[in-house]
Structure 1
Amino acid sequence: MPISPNQGSTSGGQSVVITGTNLGGATAVHFGSKLATITANTATSVTVISPSGSGVVQVTVTTPGGTSNPLNFYYVGAPFKASLSDSSGPLAGGNVITITGTGLSTATAVNFGANTATPTVVSDGVITVVVPAGAAVGSVGVSVTTAGGTNNGFTYTYVDVPTVTAFVPGSGPTSGGTPVTITGTSLSTTQSVTFGGAAAPFVVVSDTTVTAVTPPGAAGPANLVVTNTAGSATAATPFQYLAGPGI
């Protein structure tokens, strides 16, 4: 006498189909000591709505002819999410993030706002998922659905590739140390600022402004590149490193 599915949420409400023989006229289906609601019944199957419960319980079907052999049903608690490996990424999606927590082994879906992705279960504490494309730039809720229910509580931010529209000043000494104010768009998730390929310390002021301090560089032009979680942007004109005077 198979039971499908053989697991469900501790809060109940799972539609469960029990198949076998001589099941017609079923008068009761017990999940442990609790009665399930019968929604359909034939000679070979009984469909019920599981009651609330916990742990492993035995399921039996009672008909005018007696009570069946028991089958195990496993109650699964709602999942708990502890962390997301990345909290932002490109609007186009496609990047893989890792979600850690507990009760994730039966995960069937991860929602990013209204968009759903199918996760890969690594263990009860880890799943990975390819982020779907977003509908618009901004933050959306992240939820994980398992046999035990759905858990929310995290947000994920879709971002555009940055742009660099201007920076001042446009030049400085080869010794570095020049404070530079960079303006553009989608700068709030800036991960790096480079001058001629050399990393510069930076501070995010807003989504449209980043300040950086030039590293030492060779005399001449140096491309200014800003990188965020969605990609990189190169300023239209390079920063000019100026050689010091000599006599």
Structure 2
Amino acid sequence: MAPTVSTVSPSQGPTSGGNTVTITGVGLTGATAVRFGTTPAASYTVNSSTQITAVAPARSAGSAPVTVVSPTGTSNPVAYTFIAAVLPSVTAVSPSGGPTSGGTTAALAGTGLTGATAVTFDGTPALSFTVNSATLITAVTPAGKAGAAVVAVTTPGGQSAASPSAYFFYAAPPRLHSATATAGPTAGGFTVTLTGSNLLNASAVLFGPDTAAYTVVSDTQINVTVPAGTGTAPITVITPGGTSNPLPFAYLPAPALTALVPAGGPTSSGTVITLTGTALATTTAVRFAMSAVPFTVVSDTQITATAPSGPAGPVSVTVTTQGGTSTGLAYTRVTEPAV
């Protein structure tokens, strides 16, 4: 009895041939030939009485029924279609960049992507990929070195060619080295300069979870306007290369003065005054009106300062810290009696 063929898998392949086709059926033992139309298979192996693996020959596009020949006769035909090879192309990569650590899911747009067997980034296989359609593949980038990596897709029709639109740009991770301020008032609004490396193309600067307005000056410098906030708020920068290491930053309450002891003195300089209040630990200046005077921070609630000379009458005393400037308390100078 002649052999019987039930399935041919895959049921199509390139006109260049060379792909392996699995033929299933019955009575396949002793096969003396496998034909694709009138063209013999490039080679074949009889695995069992129910299975043969054959290498498809080269043949012009179109349908070519597969048959198995044995001493008992020729099998029924099962359709196989030769398809003209289409060279794949990649016309866009989105996003076009990501960190050197890999893990970015990129959409590859193009043509002839059906049947893709490999996706590579500068020769390194993608961590995974999915053929969504003949015009779209989604792939997860492998780790790579900083710079441009050509994206290539391989199908039975061949490998896509490099083109300006078929690149993925690996970015080195950003790194922060220093900030010109590590603390400031809760109201924000002042400028801090960040220095580091790989800061170009920054997409966000964060103080804790809060975004800040910023200007990228260079690959090593960013100027940022501190947003309002409270508590601790580590500074980080986000770029295509990832998220930077954090730099410490703390929001400080504004200082408050509650008492001056003594609250007055002579018009001459030299009187030592004790200022009491709250949030005084980071004091940077004590002023009598516009005049800055020597001072000593005793604690977060106490400062000693030396009053300057000045005309008789009240003068406003203020304290400035990293949290801002306090409201003023009056210190009254009295003219010393003449002798």
Whether these two folds match at TM > 0.5 is yes
CA displacement, residues 82-127 of structure 1 (integer Å, 9 cap, x when unaligned): 2212222221323332211111112112221222335322211111
Q: How many residues align?
A: 244
Secondary structure, in 3 states, of the residue corresponding to 2:111? coil
CA displacement, residues 211-240 of structure 1 (integer Å, 9 cap, x when unaligned): 22222222221111122344322334x112
Residue 244 of structure 2 is matched in structure 1 by 151
TM-score (norm 2): 0.66
Q: Which of 202, 213, 219 is the equivalent residue of 2:312?
A: 219
CA displacement, residues 4-50 of structure 1 (integer Å, 9 cap, x when unaligned): 22221111111212211112222211111311121453211211111
What amino acid is the match of 1:128?
A: N
CA contact (8 A) 1:108 1:118 kept: no
Q: Which of 166, 170, 174 is the equivalent residue of 1:75?
A: 170
Gaps of 5+ in 2: 1-90
CA contact (8 A) 1:110 1:142 kept: yes
Q: 1:42 to 1:128 in 2, by over 3 A?
A: farther
Secondary structure, in 3 states, of the residue corresponding to 2:187? coil
Residue 263 of structure 2 is matched in structure 1 by 170
Q: 1:7 to 1:205 in 2, by over 3 A?
A: farther
- Choose 1 or 2 for highest CA Rg: 2
Aligned pairs for 1:55-70 (under 5 A) are: 55-56=146-147, 57-70=149-162
Q: Which of 282, 286, 293 is the equivalent residue of 1:189?
A: 282
Residue 28 of structure 1 is matched in structure 2 by 118
CA displacement, residues 174-194 of structure 1 (integer Å, 9 cap, x when unaligned): 332222221212223323211
Residue 136 of structure 2 is matched in structure 1 by 45
TM-score (norm 1): 0.89
CA contact (8 A) 1:107 1:119 kept: no
Q: Which stretches of structure 1, 4 residues or more, deviate above 4 A after TM superposition? A: none
Secondary structure, in 3 states, of the residue corresponding to 2:184? strand
Range that drifts further, 170-179 or 65-74: 170-179
CA contact (8 A) 1:39 1:49 kept: no
Q: 1:175 to 1:115 in 2, by over 3 A?
A: same
1:41 and 1:142 map into 2 onto residues whose CA distance is 39
Q: 1:160 to 1:15 in 2, by over 3 A?
A: same
1:109 aligns with 2:209: no
Residue 104 of structure 2 is matched in structure 1 by 14
1:220 and 1:3 map into 2 onto residues whose CA distance is 74
Gaps of 5+ in 1: none
CA contact (8 A) 2:288 2:308 kept: yes
1:128 aligns with 2:223: yes
CA contact (8 A) 1:141 1:152 kept: no
Residue 331 of structure 2 is matched in structure 1 by 239
Q: 1:31 to 1:192 in 2, by over 3 A?
A: same
2:113 and 2:189 map into 1 onto residues whose CA distance is 49
CA contact (8 A) 2:116 2:131 kept: no
